[in-house]
Amino acid sequence: LIFSVIFILLATVAYSLAPLFMGFSTNVLADIFSAGKAEGYVTKFLSFLLLMVAAYALNAILSYIATCLIVHVTENTIYDLRKDIDKKLSKLPLNYYDTNAYGDILSRVTNDVDTVSGSLQQSIYQILNAVFTILIVFLIMVSVSGVLTIVALAIVPVAVYISAKVAKRSKVEFDKQQEKTGELNGYVEEYYGGHV
């Protein structure tokens, strides 16, 4: 996990620097047109383009490695979680199985664990990538233009407010979906499980 965090940080740095190199190459291109001659500028222009391509390529390679590491960590975690659930289910009294629908138990063991697995695989990378991107892009923005940075930061509270509203509504709907999935699993298991 520590190595994946390091690779995500390096990939984010590479990804954040690529547009900066593109901006430098655009400035050199503008200098070529304003000077009316290409002597001395072409090498600079091509070097910035190569740096940009290298940054994107490095980002792709490091992101791939980080994703592989996160998948490995997540799969081991989910394996341990499934073992712990199996131990817990074997220790539960018989009364538990009589008072709870089999579909609900099955839903928790399969669907909920799969949901945790998917969330871990995607969320770890996305959260770390987002945090690192915000920090690095903020530093680059401040170095380029302080005024534009302030304008961009003024929009952030509105975006956070809208995101919070969407997340609150999504949680309610997700809970309903999980409940219906449990009911459906129970129904299928109770009525169609023995027909195979």
pLDDT for res 7: 92
User: Which residue is associated with the tokens 């009316």?
Assistant: 36
Average pLDDT, the chain: 83
The better pLDDT of the pair 58, 31 is held by: 58
One-letter identity of residue 7: F
The better pLDDT of the pair 108, 161 is held by: 161
The better pLDDT of the pair 59, 171 is held by: 59
- How much of the chain, in percent, has pLDDT values that exceed 70? 97
Query: What is the separation of C-alpha 50 from the centre of its chain, rounded to a whole number of angstroms?
Result: 28
Measured at the CA of 129, the angle between CA 8 and CA 137, to 5 degrees, comes to: 105
Residues 158-173, mean pLDDT to the nearest whole number: 87
pLDDT at 102 over 80: no
The per-residue pLDDT for range 136-163, each reduced to its tens digit, is 888 888 888 888 888 888 888 988 999 9
pLDDT for res 28: 83
Q: What band does 10 get if pLDDT is binned at 50, 70 and 90?
A: very high
Q: What band does 53 get if pLDDT is binned at 50, 70 and 90?
A: very high
Label residue 71 exposed, middle or buried (CB < 10 Å: 0-12, 13-18, 19+).
Answer: middle
Q: Long-range contacts: 60-66, Cβ < 8 Å, 24+?
A: 62/7, 62/8, 62/10, 62/11, 62/14, 63/7, 63/8, 63/11, 65/7, 66/4, 66/7, 66/8, 66/11, 66/125
Q: Which two tokens stand for residue 194?
A: 């023995």
Q: What is the rounded distance in angstroms from the CA atom of residue 184 to the CA atom of residue 70?
A: 32
Q: What band does 193 get if pLDDT is binned at 50, 70 and 90?
A: low
Residues 162-175, mean pLDDT to the nearest whole number: 86
pLDDT for res 137: 84
Residues 34-55, mean pLDDT to the nearest whole number: 82
Residues in the chain: 196
The better pLDDT of the pair 68, 41 is held by: 68
